[in-house]
Amino acid sequence: MPRKPRIEKAGFYHIVNRGVARANIYLCDDDFLKFLEIVQDVSQEYSFEVYSFALMTNHYHLLVRMKKPNLSLAFQKINSRYSIYFNKKYKRVGPLWQGRFKSSYVYDQSYLQVLVKYIEFNPVKANIAQKIGEYKWAMSSNNIQYSMLNFELIKSTNFDKDLDEKELEKIDKLYKTKLEINNDTLTQKAPKNLTEYFEKLPKEQAVYNAVVDGYTQKEVGNYLGVSHVAISKKMKIYKQKVKLFNKLRDKGVFWSYKKDISYDEAGAKLFVEYLLKYGDFDDIKLGFELFGKRYIKGVWDKRLKSDKSFIKTNLMLARVFFGMDVESDYFKEAKNERFEKLKMFAS
């Protein structure tokens, strides 16, 4: 699927990026300083200011105000320059970042101080600082003084308490609001009717997409006649499935398909088939927890049990996961259901 184009407009943005596989991207004080030095250099070239930042060990948050519509160019340069520095210093190869950076356009300035609190409280929530101002790689510490830094919002924000429920809802709404630009006019994209999600998509994908697009878990639950707790559980399971799929994909398991194939494109049945064939024991065990024994056995019966090149795998699955008292000869005699169907259609 093609990437959605970013909003490219002058204004405030919350920028987040993290290390590949959540690996640390700052290993010592010099690394933190080098990153900020690069941001300072690029801010002068691309005309932006930083109103809040928190550099955590494996990711960063920045609240910036772009004076020109050049966000992508600026942060591509920042991430590229830091990646080159880091790889050279630590004699490593390969990508440093998990993917392209995430950006949220702040379409309403009433969100700004809530965002500042959200960013500056990151070290406190991560238990690497007891209070605001203590963590030196957050802007509220006043540890760094660069011309790119604008302390206006830091000075006017009340840090006595962490974000309350209303402020968290505001952050959630900001991230879920879909924006589009038509003739240089920014508008909020009207959400689809819930029926459209469930008419066109598998249920788990429909639930996830509806929530990501801005519907609350309670609204989706009411539509389906289940509790918001059930929707929360479905969301959690779906995310775990995607994470497990991506793990196998990144190992090259789906080499015969396109390199960046997604879980939704592959479908659950293909994923389960390849998981059983090529996943390690712990991955398969997790697959049973996520999909359920009945579903996995259905896929196994139709797609794998009769495959003579996986007799050892099938024997392990039958004995360990399905509780079957069988020997390898059982699989040598198993009929290939897909092949038999093709024969029937051909005759």
For residue 296, the surrounding DSSP H or E stretch is: helix 293-303
- What's the pLDDT score for residue 5? 63
| Locus of tokens 């772009």 | 66
- What's the pLDDT score for residue 336? 55
Together in a domain, 33 and 133? yes
In-domain check, residue 2: no
**Number of domains the chain is built from:** 3
- What's the pLDDT score for residue 180? 67
In-domain check, residue 243: no
Residues 6 or more apart whose CB falls under 8 angstroms from that of 9 comprise 66, 69, 105, 181, 186
- What's the pLDDT score for residue 2? 42
In this structure, are residues 98 and 22 in contact, taking their beta carbons and an 8 Å threshold? yes
In-domain check, residue 171: yes
In-domain check, residue 5: no
In-domain check, residue 342: yes
- What's the pLDDT score for residue 171? 83
The whole domain housing 220 covers: 194-238
Together in a domain, 66 and 132? yes
Strands 11-18 and 102-105: antiparallel
Distances (CA, A) of 115 to 7, 122, 159, 308: 18, 11, 12, 57
In-domain check, residue 102: yes
In-domain check, residue 88: yes
Burial class (CB in 10 A: 0-12, 13-18, 19+), 120: buried
- What's the pLDDT score for residue 337? 54
State the Cα–Cα distance between residues 297 and 275, nearest whole angstrom. 13
In-domain check, residue 6: no
For residue 53, the surrounding DSSP H or E stretch is: strand 48-55
- What's the pLDDT score for residue 67? 96
- The one-letter amino acid at 60: Y
Distances (CA, A) of 108 to 62, 173, 179, 188: 17, 11, 12, 11
Together in a domain, 181 and 222? no
Q: Which residues of the chain have pLDDT under 50?
A: 1-2, 339, 342-343
Residues 6 or more apart whose CB falls under 8 angstroms from that of 104 comprise 13, 14, 174, 175
Distances (CA, A) of 255 to 72, 260, 284: 31, 10, 19
Together in a domain, 174 and 211? no
